[in-house]
Amino acid sequence: MKSESIQQIMELRKKIRYHEHRYYVLDDPEISDSKFDQLLNQLKMSEAANPEIITPESPTQRVGGSPLKGLNSIEHTVPMLSLDNAYSAEDLLSLEKRMKEQARDEFDGFVCELKIDGLSLALIFENGKLVRGVTRGDGFTGEDVTSNVKTIRSIPLDLNDSVRQNPIRVEIRGEVFLPLESFKALNKERELNGDSLFANPRNAAAGSLRTLDSKVVSKRKLDFFVYQILVDGEIPGDHHAGNLNWLNKMGFKVNSHWKLCRSMIEVSEYCQNWEHMRDQLSYEIDGVVVKANSIQLQKRLGETSKFPRWAIAYKFQSKKVKTVVRDIQVQVGRTGALTPVALLEPVELAGSIISRSTLHNEQEINRLGLKIGDTVLIEKGGDVIPKVVRVLKDQRPKLAQDFQMPQECPICKQSVHCSEGEVITRCINMACVAKTKHAIFHFSSRKALRIEGLGEAVVSQLVDKGLVRDPADLYFLQLTELSELERMGHKSAFNLLSQIEMSKTRGLSKVIFGLGIRHVGERTAKILANHFGSLRSFSEAPRENLEAIVEIGPIVAESISYFFSLSSNKQILSKLSQAGLILTEKKSKISDNKFDGQQFVFTGKLSLFTREKATNLIEKQGGRVSNSISTRTNFVVVGDQAGGKLEKARNLGIAVLSQSEFQKLFD
Ligand code: IVH
């Protein structure tokens, strides 16, 4: 290839990078979108003609090759710590006191930054080139998301010339987020496609960043704000403020609202201002991060095993909005539980439109003192589903109506039952259509038989048309029956049928879980499958044999015996076997059972590991995890801001472990 054309291609790449930076980082484009696309196409064509000169940093390489099979784990060279939280002015003052006590003459103000509500990400640049993008994970080990990170246009694939000359390892840390507009557009598109919606922009960003197909990710419009730089594992420079300016010059997107404050009064004003102004931003923030400006002081203060001592996150109160409860509807769940749900005047809260909120049970309605027609405050914090937190009784209209739990099931009209001392009212009619629909939906859900494409709408139609009366009927459906359903063409019907076929091989524990026996969750299903080895011997086991299994208590045993005593359930089993599902499993020793039968409870926010990881460890060694503390609990593992559970554990004399003590136990 002629050196003249290499030169031209280099020039073109430089030009594209320049315009990417103007558009995605500075938000100040110089050329139109179509002109930009033209330049990119020109580069694509030149590179196609000269493939030998394509480098991973070329702007054409942002969307990589074929989808990945999974994400690899990568250990962080410097742990990605979390931040301690402050909720009040007092908490901020104690940070100031600590800093000033420790500082010699290093104190040089605080840098306040917006706390972006996304997920943290580390970018590794070697010799100025982006080589890896890693999620925070549990702080010590994250996941390799490099191909997805490259699709984020505000992330440069190589650093500006001034930095590239130093052959060093530069790590850039920051927050990946999804702007509100993009979040809304994404959910709208998912709604039209019948896909499940993301609860908030953070979940959407996290889900997107971990997607295996970078082509899908490139359409999601993820963005990235940078807040930290490490050079060869150390924070460089004298001042954090200087580092932010440097990062900017290197071509990164630094959130422009940061401020150098000289006193805690200024910090507190900054926090208050942003708490009021957060809705004016085009992305979500959940607080302010306050950092020591002096890097010397940061180094002197150091860190605990979880948090740096030189920074704190001032958390905003979770967002609340006012709306009106138009009605209270009663839903029937898989176990027949009747759940009252408030139908709300639709309002926007934290990026999504809220029109319903569960009220859990009659007792909760009484506790709130809620009537139909009331104006209420609803809250949505983090992942939490929106909930009614308070009734504004002074705004109650004259015609507000009391709510009464129905005496009959709203679906099958049979009478309902509420056992003494229980708060939950249930429909006990075995043939209730609502229960059937839930049972089938549960059977086909991801953690059970995983039949993709069998959404709630399809299940509902199948049951209403009498094509399916129980989960086993799914395996006898015909292509013509499926093709006649609403919004189901021949191709989708064919796909669904092949998904149903594929689900036959998921294995015994998935089938046991999928049956939806009360009190038999995923873990119990695994234990039962492992213990009995076949659906037949499980279903025929006398109650005392069930109770003899260490992890199975009398309530679970009773529930299993009751389930199989019903002839309708026995029929399901024989139909499943007739359909050719795999209903056996090789018995194996689950683990070395160091914690056989021991029960663990977690409380507070865990920072050293995820709950999921810890649960896996415990279960591998024969223990189990419960949500609530009882006399059967053996260990309580405490994270940050542990509340009532810790107190209860102490009162009951249960062993309390810190996170690191827990880690040692499993070393
Ligand atoms: S600094 C060692 N600055 O908040 C401290 N974090 O709750 C590094 N976050 O894990 C964090 N905006 O994911 C910092 N301006 C900001 C931030 C920020 C959001 C996130 C980050 C961190 C979490 C802690």
pLDDT tens digits for range 417-471: 887 777 889 998 878 999 999 999 999 998 899 998 998 899 999 999 999 999 9
Same domain, 205 and 96: yes
pLDDT surpassing 80 at residue 144: yes
Same domain, 218 and 151: yes
pLDDT, position 589: 55
Higher pLDDT, 329 or 90: 329
User: Cα(173)–Cα(271) distance, rounded to whole angstroms?
Assistant: 23
Whether residue 413 lies inside any domain: the answer is no
For range 21-43, the mean pLDDT: 92
Residue 128 belongs to domain with CATH number: 3.30.470.30
Taking the centre of ligand 1 as the mean of its atom positions, its distance from the CA of residue 84, in whole angstroms, is 10
Residue 58 belongs to domain with CATH number: 1.10.287.610
Whether residue 19 lies inside any domain: the answer is yes
pLDDT, position 268: 94
pLDDT surpassing 90 at residue 157: yes
Evaluate the CA torsion angle 40, 46, 49, 51 in order and state its sign.
negative
User: Cα(441)–Cα(455) distance, rounded to whole angstroms?
Assistant: 7
Spell 611-650 as b/e; 16+ CB within 10 A means b.
eeebbebbbebbbbbeeebeeebebbbbbeebeebbebbe
pLDDT surpassing 60 at residue 167: no
Same domain, 579 and 617: no
Across the chain, mean pLDDT equals: 89
For range 589-618, the mean pLDDT: 78
Lowest-confidence pick of 43-52, 61-70, 391-400, 462-471: 61-70
Of the residues 97, 100, 115, 184, only one is catalytic, namely 115
Same domain, 180 and 55: no
Same domain, 154 and 55: no
Give one DSSP letter per residue of 152-182, joined into a string.
Answer: -TTS-SB--HHHHTS--EEEEEEEEE--HHH
Same domain, 517 and 630: no
**CA 80 to ligand 1: nearest atom:** 2
pLDDT, position 639: 85
Same domain, 278 and 233: yes
pLDDT, position 572: 94
pLDDT surpassing 70 at residue 104: yes
pLDDT, position 382: 58
Q: Across-strand partners of 110?
A: 261, 292
Element (H, E) at 36: helix 33-49
Give the residue, by CA position, lying nearest to ligand 1 atom 10.
82
The DSSP letter of residue 60 is G
Residue with tokens 């190589």: 158
Same domain, 89 and 37: no
Same domain, 307 and 324: no
**CA 303 to ligand 1: nearest atom:** 2
User: Cα(506)–Cα(500) distance, rounded to whole angstroms?
Assistant: 11
Taking the centre of ligand 1 as the mean of its atom positions, its distance from the CA of residue 560, in whole angstroms, is 47
Taking the centre of ligand 1 as the mean of its atom positions, its distance from the CA of residue 645, in whole angstroms, is 28
Q: What is the 3-state secondary structure (H, E, C) of 488-528?
A: CCHHHHHHHHHHHHHHHHCCHHHHHHHCCCCCCCHHHHHHH
Whether residue 414 lies inside any domain: the answer is no
Our count of domains for the chain comes to: 5
Same domain, 19 and 121: no
Whether residue 338 lies inside any domain: the answer is yes
Tokens of 549: 């299994």
Q: List, for residues 194-246, the tens digit of each pLDDT value.
A: 777 787 899 899 999 988 889 889 999 999 999 999 998 899 999 999 999 99
Taking the centre of ligand 1 as the mean of its atom positions, its distance from the CA of residue 82, in whole angstroms, is 7
State which of 111, 117, 173, 175 you would mutate to test the pocket of ligand 1, scoring each by most atoms of that ligand within 8 A of its C-beta.
175
Give the residue, by CA position, lying nearest to ligand 1 atom 7.
83
Same domain, 145 and 200: yes
pLDDT, position 616: 79
Whether residue 579 lies inside any domain: the answer is yes
pLDDT, position 610: 82
CB 301 within 8 A of CB 235: no
pLDDT, position 381: 63
pLDDT, position 654: 80
Give the residue, by CA position, lying nearest to ligand 1 atom 2.
81
pLDDT surpassing 80 at residue 306: yes
Q: List, for residues 270-295, the tens digit of each pLDDT value.
A: 999 999 999 899 999 999 999 999 99
pLDDT, position 648: 81
Whole-number percent of the chain with pLDDT over 90: 60
- Residue 221 falls in the annotated catalytic set: no
Last residue of a domain, one of 315, 335, 350: 315
pLDDT surpassing 90 at residue 351: no
Q: Can you give the pTM of this predicted structure?
A: 0.64
Residue 464 belongs to domain with CATH number: 1.10.150.20
Pocket (CB within 6 angstroms of ligand 1): 81-83, 113, 115-116, 120, 175, 227-228, 289, 308, 311, 313
Whether residue 364 lies inside any domain: the answer is yes
pLDDT, position 133: 96
Tokens of 611: 């709950």
Q: Which domain range does residue 606 map to? A: 599-666
Last residue of a domain, one of 541, 559, 587: 587
Give the residue, by CA position, lying nearest to ligand 1 atom 13.
120
pLDDT, position 667: 67
Whole-number percent of the chain with pLDDT over 70: 96
Whether residue 36 lies inside any domain: the answer is yes
**CA 119 to ligand 1: nearest atom:** 13
pLDDT, position 252: 95
Spell 166-199 as b/e; 16+ CB within 10 A means b.
eeeebbbbbbbbbbbebbbebbeeeeeeeeeebb
pLDDT surpassing 60 at residue 590: no
Task: Determine the 3-state secondary structure of 637 from DSSP.
Answer: strand
Q: State the Cα angle at 473 between 469 and 479, rounded to 5°.
A: 115
Whether residue 406 lies inside any domain: the answer is no
For range 16-36, the mean pLDDT: 92
pLDDT, position 1: 57
**385-393 contacts at long range (C-beta below 8 A, 24 or more positions apart):** 385/199, 385/357, 385/358, 386/349, 386/354, 386/357, 387/357, 387/358, 388/325, 388/342, 388/357, 388/359, 389/320, 392/322, 393/369
Q: List, for residues 71-86, the tens digit of each pLDDT value.
A: 888 889 999 999 999 9
Taking the centre of ligand 1 as the mean of its atom positions, its distance from the CA of residue 121, in whole angstroms, is 10
Structure confidence at residue 106 as a pLDDT band (50, 70, 90) = very high
Taking the centre of ligand 1 as the mean of its atom positions, its distance from the CA of residue 270, in whole angstroms, is 17
Q: List, for residues 490-518, the tens digit of each pLDDT value.
A: 899 999 999 999 999 999 999 999 999 98
State which of 76, 80, 82 you would mutate to test the pocket of ligand 1, scoring each by most atoms of that ligand within 8 A of its C-beta.
82
Same domain, 309 and 335: no
User: Cα(512)–Cα(448) distance, rounded to whole angstroms?
Assistant: 8
Last residue of a domain, one of 315, 335, 355: 315
Higher pLDDT, 268 or 593: 268
Residue 619 belongs to domain with CATH number: 3.40.50.10190
Give the residue, by CA position, lying nearest to ligand 1 atom 22.
82
Taking the centre of ligand 1 as the mean of its atom positions, its distance from the CA of residue 313, in whole angstroms, is 8
